[in-house]
Amino acid sequence: MAYLKLDHVDKVFTRGAATTEVLKDINLTIEKGEYVSIIGHSGCGKSTMLNIVAGLTTATTGGVLLEEREVNSPGPDRAVVFQNHSLLPWLTVYENVRLGVDKVFARTKTRAERDAWTMHNLNLVQMAHAKDKRPNEISGGMKQRVGIARALAMEPKVLLLDEPFGALDALTRAHLQDSVMALHQKLGNTILMITHDVDEAVLLSDRIVMMTNGPSAHIGEVLEVALPRPRKRLDLATNPTYVKCRQRVLEFLYERHRFVEAA
Amino acid sequence: MSMPALTNDRASNVVPTASASSTASVVTMTPKQAPAAERYVKMAREVAVRVVPPLIVLVLFMLVWELLCRRAGSALPPPSRVFSDTRELIFDPFFDHGGIDKGLFWHLEASLRRVAIGYAIAAIVGVALGTLIGQSVWAMRGLDPIFQVLRTIPPLAWLPLSLAAFRDGQPSAIFVIFITSVWPIIINTAVGIRNIPQDYRNVAAVVQLNPLEFFAKIMIPAAAPYIFTGLRIGIGLSWLAIVAAEMLIGGVGIGFFIWDAWNSSHISEIILALFYVGIIGFVLDRLIAVVGKIVTRGTATN
Question: Which of A48, A90, A122 should be substituted to probe chain B, the one whose Cβ sees the most B Cβ atoms within 10 Å?
Answer: A90
Q: Closest by alpha carbon to B206, among A71, A5, A119? A: A71
CA A106 from chain centre, in angstroms, equals: 26
The whole-angstrom distance between B133's CA and the closest CA on chain A is: 23
Find the mean pLDDT for residues B19-24.
44
Q: Where are the beta strands (DSSP E) in chain B?
A: none
Spell out the CATH class of B91-295: mainly alpha
Are A91 and A101 contacting, i.e. CB atoms less than 8 angstroms apart?
no
Tell me which chain B residue has its CA closest to the CA of residue A78: B206
| Cβ contact B206–A78 (<8 Å) | yes
Q: Is the pLDDT of residue A149 over 50?
A: yes
Q: Is the pLDDT of residue B4 over 50?
A: no
Are B118 and B175 contacting, i.e. CB atoms less than 8 angstroms apart?
yes
Q: Is the pLDDT of residue A214 over 90?
A: no
**What is d(CA B39, CA B46) in angstroms, rounded to the nearest whole number?**
11
The per-residue pLDDT for B132 is 93
Tell me which chain B residue has its CA closest to the CA of residue A178: B5
Write out pLDDT tens, residues A91-138: 999 999 999 999 999 889 999 999 999 999 999 898 999 999 999 889
Write out pLDDT tens, residues A13-68: 888 888 888 888 889 999 999 999 999 888 788 888 999 999 998 889 888 999 98
Q: Closest by alpha carbon to A192, among A97, A80, A104? A: A80
Find the mean pLDDT for residues B28-54.
82
Are A230 and A185 contacting, i.e. CB atoms less than 8 angstroms apart?
yes
- Across chain A, mean pLDDT equals 89
Question: Which of A57, A83, A88, A99 should be substituted to probe chain B, the one whose Cβ sees the most B Cβ atoms within 10 Å?
Answer: A88
Question: Which of A53, A71, A72, A86 should be substituted to probe chain B, the one whose Cβ sees the most B Cβ atoms within 10 Å?
Answer: A86
Is the N-terminal amide bond of B16 cis, ω within 30° of 0? no
Which chain B residues have a beta carbon less than 8 Å from that of A163? none
Number of H helices, E strands in chain B: 13, 0
CA B60 from chain centre, in angstroms, equals: 29
Find the mean pLDDT for residues B178-205.
94
Which chain A residues have a beta carbon less than 8 Å from that of B293? none
What ipTM is given for this predicted complex?
A: 0.86
Are A8 and A60 contacting, i.e. CB atoms less than 8 angstroms apart?
no
Span between the terminal Cα atoms of chain B, in Å: 33
- pTM of the predicted protein model: 0.78
| Cβ contact A90–B1 (<8 Å) | no
Q: Closest by alpha carbon to A78, among A135, A151, A28? A: A151
Q: Closest by alpha carbon to B120, among B217, B238, B250? A: B238
Span between the terminal Cα atoms of chain A, in Å: 45
CB count in 10 Å sphere of residue B25: 5
Q: Is the pLDDT of residue B250 over 80?
A: yes
The domain locations on chain B are 18-67, 91-295
Find the mean pLDDT for residues B177-182.
95
Q: Kind of pairing, strands A69-71 and A207-211?
A: unpaired
Amino acid at B267: I
Write out pLDDT tens, residues A68-97: 888 888 988 999 998 888 899 999 999 999
**What is d(CA B182, CA B107) in angstroms, rounded to the nearest whole number?**
24
The whole-angstrom distance between A76's CA and the closest CA on chain B is: 5
Write out pLDDT tens, residues B218-244: 999 999 999 999 999 999 999 999 999
Name the helix (H) or strand (E) containing B10: helix B4-11
Q: Closest by alpha carbon to B214, among A57, A74, A121, A55? A: A74
The whole-angstrom distance between B139's CA and the closest CA on chain A is: 22
> Angle formed by the axes of helices B104-135 and B169-194, to 10°?
40
The whole-angstrom distance between B9's CA and the closest CA on chain A is: 8
Closest Cβ–Cβ partner in B1, B207, B299 for A103: B207
